[in-house]
Amino acid sequence: MSDPHDEALLAGYVLGALGPEDERAAERHLREHLPGCASCRATLEELRSVAGELALAAAPRRPPALLLPRLRRAVERRARTRRLRPASVAAGVVLAAALGGLGIVRGGPGGVAEAGLLTQLSPEHLDQALALTARTDAQAVAVGPATEVHAPGLDHFYVFGRDVPLPPPGSVYRLWLVGAAGYRYLGEFRPAPDGTVVLRIEAQPQAWDGVLVTLEPAGSAPSEPGRPMWSSAG
Amino acid sequence: MDDLALHARVQAGDPSALEELYGRYAPSAFGLALRVTGDATLAQDVVQDAFLALWDRPRAFDPDRGPLRTWLLALVHHRAVDAVRREARLRERATRAANLEPPAVEDPADEVVEDADLAERRRRVREALAGLPADQRRVIEMAYFDGKTQPEIASELKIPLGTVKTRTFAAMRRLRAAMEGPARAEVASDGRAGGRAGGWEDA
């Protein structure tokens, strides 16, 4: 129960087989114990790699011939919106020009941040984001120097980083959701003096292509994304 | 072309790279999804979803944390278990017990030709599973291939939950030891050997 190095709990966790009560215990364990325990972190990685190999114990089966054309059609449907997004938005104006030229609606429902969608947490809450990272089903995507992490079934996700440069004086970072239909403004954030950023976003990441960080003059109206800095929208 | 190069092309938006990865891993993915869901229609949805997830968010895969194959199949497994649990809420699945074991006779038309590395890994993990004591193998199969939670396993096998947990951990430890020996050379070729910290000391 109070075993500080609960390896059996981790074994059930990597298999995705814990009951609801243990699932909560595991998440607490990952949040409170793992960051400070190298031995448990190593155990978790080992267990994960064993769980990964188990996939190969199932006999391979040729999928029905119709599945590939089906996948191809789904990819083609997405290709149109995908082409609107250059691979790297670090190139700055390219993105704005491409979207502007194609008449994409910007700002989503108004250019005004909806209250409560974005919460900037203090650096000591970094463990919340790290705990989510430790989930087997979590997905982490780079957002420049920061990381976006989300997991299926959650109605929120995190963007966090340790070495995010401070914006130049007179400028602010703004965070936007990027979707096929345009952007939704989430709000401004500022890294702590040591560069730590912990942002919690109340949105289902599956409904969006990713997030975009822009650098904009402080006090300007956030009617549409300004200079793109980093994005997770691939 | 190796998986990482194909992944880079997927990231650049090249659909032919996704198709090449599909050609490589769809049989593993479909076999796994079929084994977990026991339903060809659900399994197809799961496989399509997983490849679309790779297409939509290629950067969700982090090469530092292991091979693309492992990541992709973990995604397939997770989605298959989700699908099973959703289905389980709708209907009883007593007949699924038959799916615990892979079909003894496979349609020769379904036979899949794989590269030697994959086939060797498959052989090794199957041997490792077969080498487990029966009670340990059972909890692993029920958890991983049948998508059951530990409380469900405990009640089905009429054993205490604590026993399920300790058996699961003992089984995972044995599997790792069994796959470890001959796997070393290959692990090294993944560039991950150096990171192996001995986190499994006996208490």
Domain assignment of residue A111, yes or no: yes
Q: Indicate whether A135 and A171 sit together in one domain.
A: yes
* Dihedral angle, C-alpha B64, B202, A10, A5, nearest 10 °: -110
Mutate to test the interface with A, among B64, B77, B186 (most CBs of A within 10 A): B77
Q: Which residue has the higher pLDDT, A118 or A194?
A: A118
Stretch A31-53: mean pLDDT, rounded?
Answer: 90
For residue B9, pLDDT over 80 is answered with yes
CB-based contact B199 A49, cutoff 8 Å? no
Q: Indicate whether A28 and A141 sit together in one domain.
A: no
Strand ranges of the sheet holding A227-231, from the earlier edge strand across to the other edge = A182-189, A171-179, A210-217, A227-231
Q: Indicate whether B86 and B18 sit together in one domain.
A: yes
Domain assignment of residue B187, yes or no: yes
- Which residue segment(s) compose the domain that B172 sits in? 114-192
Domain assignment of residue A67, yes or no: no
Q: Indicate whether B143 and B73 sit together in one domain.
A: no
Strand ranges of the sheet holding A197-201, from the earlier edge strand across to the other edge = A118-121, A197-201, A157-161, A146-150, A139-143
Domain's final residue, options B93, B125, B141: B93
Indicate the residue of B32, B55, B196 with minimum beta-carbon distance to A58. Answer: B32
Q: Indicate whether B134 and B77 sit together in one domain.
A: no
d(CA B173, CA B169): 6
CB-based contact B74 A54, cutoff 8 Å? no
Domain assignment of residue A74, yes or no: no
Q: Indicate whether A180 and A121 sit together in one domain.
A: yes
Show residues of chain A in contact with B81, CB under 8 Å: 16
Q: Indicate whether A108 and A194 sit together in one domain.
A: yes
Classify B145 as helix, strand or coil. helix
| Closest Cα in chain B, distance from residue A92 (Å) | 18
Domain assignment of residue A2, yes or no: no
Domain assignment of residue B53, yes or no: yes
Look up the pTM and report it.
Answer: 0.60
Residues 77-116 of chain A whose Cβ lies under 8 A from any Cβ of chain B: 78-79, 82-83, 87
Q: Indicate whether A41 and A143 sit together in one domain.
A: no
What is the tally of structural domains in chain B? 2
d(CA A153, CA B183): 35
pLDDT at B183: 45
ipTM computed for the complex: 0.81
Confidence of residue A58 (pLDDT cuts 50, 70, 90): very high
The answer to whether the beta carbons of residues A48 and A54 sit under 8 Å apart is no
The answer to whether the beta carbons of residues A106 and B57 sit under 8 Å apart is no
Q: Indicate whether A180 and A222 sit together in one domain.
A: yes
What is the tally of structural domains in chain A? 2
Q: Indicate whether A152 and A52 sit together in one domain.
A: no
Domain assignment of residue B201, yes or no: no
pLDDT in tens, B79-104: 999 888 887 766 554 455 445 444 44
φ, ψ (nearest 5 deg) of residue B72: -65, -45
d(CA B152, CA B98): 17
Q: Indicate whether A53 and A104 sit together in one domain.
A: no
pLDDT in tens, B109-148: 556 777 888 899 999 999 999 999 999 999 999 999 999 9
pLDDT in tens, A107-116: 333 344 556 7
Domain's final residue, options A38, A57, A76: A57
Domain assignment of residue A17, yes or no: yes
For residue A81, pLDDT over 70 is answered with no
Domain assignment of residue B33, yes or no: yes
Q: Indicate whether A92 and A136 sit together in one domain.
A: yes
- Average predicted confidence (pLDDT) for chain A: 78
Give the torsion sign (CA, A22, A24, A25, A27).
positive
pLDDT in tens, A194-206: 788 889 998 887 7
Show residues of chain B in contact with A29, CB under 8 Å: none
Show residues of chain B in contact with A86, CB under 8 Å: none
Show residues of chain B in contact with A137, CB under 8 Å: 74, 78
Indicate the residue of A12, A57, A79 with minimum beta-carbon distance to B168. Answer: A12
Q: Indicate whether A105 and A177 sit together in one domain.
A: yes
Q: Indicate whether B118 and B44 sit together in one domain.
A: no
Q: Indicate whether A106 and A158 sit together in one domain.
A: yes
CB-based contact A75 B52, cutoff 8 Å? yes
CB-based contact B15 A72, cutoff 8 Å? yes
For residue B150, pLDDT over 90 is answered with yes
CB-based contact B112 A8, cutoff 8 Å? no
Q: Indicate whether B2 and B63 sit together in one domain.
A: yes
Interchain CB contacts (distance < 8 Å): A and B: 209
Domain assignment of residue A75, yes or no: no
Whether chain B has a CB inside 8 Å of the CB on A180: the answer is no
Domain assignment of residue B56, yes or no: yes
- Which residue segment(s) compose the domain that A23 sits in? 7-57
CB-based contact A18 B149, cutoff 8 Å? yes
Domain assignment of residue A217, yes or no: yes
CB-based contact B200 A17, cutoff 8 Å? no
Q: Indicate whether A103 and A33 sit together in one domain.
A: no
Query: Any idea what the CATH number is for the domain that residue B44 is in?
Result: 1.10.1740.10
CB-based contact B18 A75, cutoff 8 Å? yes
Indicate the residue of A8, A15, A60 with minimum beta-carbon distance to B143. Answer: A15
Domain assignment of residue B147, yes or no: yes
Q: Indicate whether B81 and B137 sit together in one domain.
A: no
Domain assignment of residue B73, yes or no: yes
Mutate to test the interface with B, among A7, A15, A33, A45 (most CBs of B within 10 A): A15
CB-based contact B82 A9, cutoff 8 Å? no
For residue A4, pLDDT over 80 is answered with no
Q: Indicate whether B86 and B160 sit together in one domain.
A: no
Q: Indicate whether B17 and B87 sit together in one domain.
A: yes
Domain assignment of residue A187, yes or no: yes
Domain's final residue, options B63, B93, B123: B93
Domain assignment of residue B148, yes or no: yes
